[in-house]
């Protein structure tokens, strides 16, 4: 008789809380439209995996469909790599080619990754170096990189790290403006920047993804799956002879893998793994990573301005776009510039810094993947 | 370099994280600087 009610007797308050978490993510996706393509499947996956007996994960020794997806797409890092091909096909490096100095903001705005990694190792958190590195990478503002690194170093933390990475990316319009306002004066926010719309030679656009992959392969060989897939997607786009493949990568591939990635990440949010104080601390540190990233980019721009003549100063808000949340961060900064002074257009510079953030985040991920095992084994 | 790595191996996770951070930041800036030179040089050549 007890078997009849096993569905009711096999769940406790922890599972009930996870249903609420799942509903909250679905609500944010539908009502607030925060990254709906990811938060909705993640939320639903979180509910599925916490239902009685967790049949979608494993039952009577047989793998459920979500475990099959997890093993075939996350555990072997296939989904993040496929997403990168899609993202690469979407990125136009044109604005960066027209103002290449913007690339350095893509480096400065990775500061949050490293600062958060250090914080995570300190009391009271006391995470191991590998766990701390996985938490810090939330600051890459780049879901696939966060998943890739967490999967290598701290598989048990994959659920909270993924949720934090995607949630904070969706919250960039709320996180970045107060940080930028705090660190800049009104005069700085009103700085105009001229944009030279020079032609970029086609050979440069085509050779860029290939050369970048080769450079990354020599500097941080372990980053090649990330850089290589991103640049492969970009090469398809820029080659000019694979338009259908480029469109397929940007649409069908991106949508299909995002769908599977989301629900599979949700399946890693079982109550026993997710509901603990460590999860709360990871969510808090993820926010710190985004704030420090933004501050790093803005302060770097202010530092550069010290050495520039008056007529060539950079609007320091551009620095905040060095995070990888593309193109949301660029849009946020343009909106702030227009609010400060009507007609101030810095969008193309902001996009240049923003695509640099894509490069910076995967290189930072590659550096962490290369350096951490040297010390932590 | 090997001596630094060996010393860091015996250090606390916080010191190790600091070491990774210094190396990581240098690595990110250096790699992106190489990309900058690639773009800057490429556009210069393209203008000629």
Q: Is the pLDDT of residue A133 over 90?
A: yes
C-alpha–C-alpha distance, residues A219 and B27, integer Å? 8
Mean pLDDT, residues B3-27 = 92
Question: How is residue A58 annotated by DSSP?
Answer: E
A187-228, pLDDT tens digit by residue? 999 999 988 777 788 899 999 999 999 998 988 888 899 999
Beta bridge partners, A58, equal A63
Is B41 at the interface with chain A, CB within 8 A?
no
Q: ipTM of the predicted structure?
A: 0.95
Please tell me the predicted confidence (pLDDT) of residue A171. 83
Cα–Cα dist B11/B28, whole Å = 24
In this prediction, residue A3 has a pLDDT band, given cuts at 50, 70 and 90, of: low
User: Can you spell out the DSSP letters for B1-48?
Assistant: -HHHHHHHHTS-HHHHHHHHHHHHHHHHHHHHHHHHHHHHHHHHHHH-
Name B19's Cβ contacts closer than 8 Å, sequence gap at least 6.
A371, A375, B4, B8, B11
Interface with chain A: mutation pick from B21, B38, B47, highest number of A CBs within 10 Å = B21
Whether the CB of A222 is below 8 Å from some CB of chain B: the reply is no
- CB contact under 8 Å between B16 and A97, yes or no, is no
Give pLDDT, residue A201.
Answer: 86
Find the radius of gyration of the CA atoms of chain A: 21
The least confident of A73-82, A289-298, B25-34 is A73-82
What integer pLDDT is reported at residue A4 of this predicted model?
66
Q: Phi and psi (nearest 5°) for A197? A: -85, 65
Q: What is the model's pLDDT at position A195?
A: 80
Please, which residues 114-133 of chain A have a Cβ atom closer than 8 Å to chain B?
114-115, 117-118, 120-122, 126-129, 132-133
State the average pLDDT for chain A.
91
pLDDT at A273: 83
pLDDT, tens only, A149-169: 998 999 889 888 988 888 888
Residues of A in contact with B7 (CB under 8 A): none
For residue A211, what pLDDT is reported?
94
The phi and psi torsions of A221 (rounded to 5 degrees) equal -55, -30
Q: What is the mean pLDDT of residues A265-278?
A: 88
The pTM score is 0.89
């Amino acid at each position: 008789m007890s078997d009849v009610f096993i569905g009711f007797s096999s769940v406790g308050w922890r599972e009930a809380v996870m249903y609420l978490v799942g509903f909250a993510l679905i609500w944010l996706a539908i009502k607030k439209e925060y990254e709906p393509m990811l938060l909705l499947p993640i939320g639903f996956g979180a509910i599925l995996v916490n239902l009685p007996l967790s049949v979608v994960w494993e039952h009577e020794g047989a793998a459920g469909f979500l475990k099959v997806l997890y093993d075939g797409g996350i555990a072997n890092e296939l989904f993040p790599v496929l997403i990168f091909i899609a993202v690469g096909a979407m990125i136009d490096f044109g604005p960066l080619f027209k103002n290449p100095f913007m690339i350095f903001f893509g480096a400065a705005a990775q500061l949050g990754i490293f600062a958060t990694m250090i914080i995570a190792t300190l009391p009271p958190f006391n995470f191991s170096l590998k766990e701390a590195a996985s938490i810090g990478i939330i600051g890459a503002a780049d879901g696939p990189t966060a998943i890739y690194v967490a999967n290598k170093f701290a598989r048990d933390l994959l659920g909270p790290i993924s949720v934090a990475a995607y949630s904070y990316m969706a919250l960039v319009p709320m996180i970045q403006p107060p940080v930028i306002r705090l660190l800049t004066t009104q005069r700085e926010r009103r700085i105009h920047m001229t944009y030279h719309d020079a032609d970029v030679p086609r050979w440069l656009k085509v050779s860029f993804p290939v050369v970048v992959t080769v450079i990354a392969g020599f500097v941080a060989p372990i980053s090649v799956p990330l850089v290589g897939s991103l640049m492969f997607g970009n090469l398809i786009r820029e080659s000019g002879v694979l338009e259908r493949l480029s469109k397929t990568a940007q649409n069908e591939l991106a949508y299909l893998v995002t769908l599977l990635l989301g629900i599979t990440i949700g399946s890693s949010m079982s109550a026993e793994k997710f509901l603990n104080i460590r999860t709360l601390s990871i969510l808090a540190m993820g926010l710190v990573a985004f704030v420090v990233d933004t501050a790093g980019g803005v302060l770097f721009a202010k530092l550069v301005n010290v050495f520039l003549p008056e007529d060539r100063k950079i609007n320091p808000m551009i620095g905040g776009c060095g995070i990888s949340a593309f193109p949301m961060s660029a849009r946020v900064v343009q909106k702030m510039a227009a609010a400060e002074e009507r007609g101030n257009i810095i969008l193309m510079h902001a996009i240049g810094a923003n695509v640099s953030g894509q490069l910076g985040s995967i290189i930072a991920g590659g550096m962490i993947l290369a350096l951490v095992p040297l010390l932590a084994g | 370099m090997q001596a630094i790595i060996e010393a860091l191996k015996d250090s606390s996770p916080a010191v190790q994280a600091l070491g990774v951070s210094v190396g990581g930041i240098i690595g990110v800036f250096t790699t992106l600087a190489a990309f900058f030179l690639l773009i800057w040089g490429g556009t210069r050549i393209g203008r000629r």
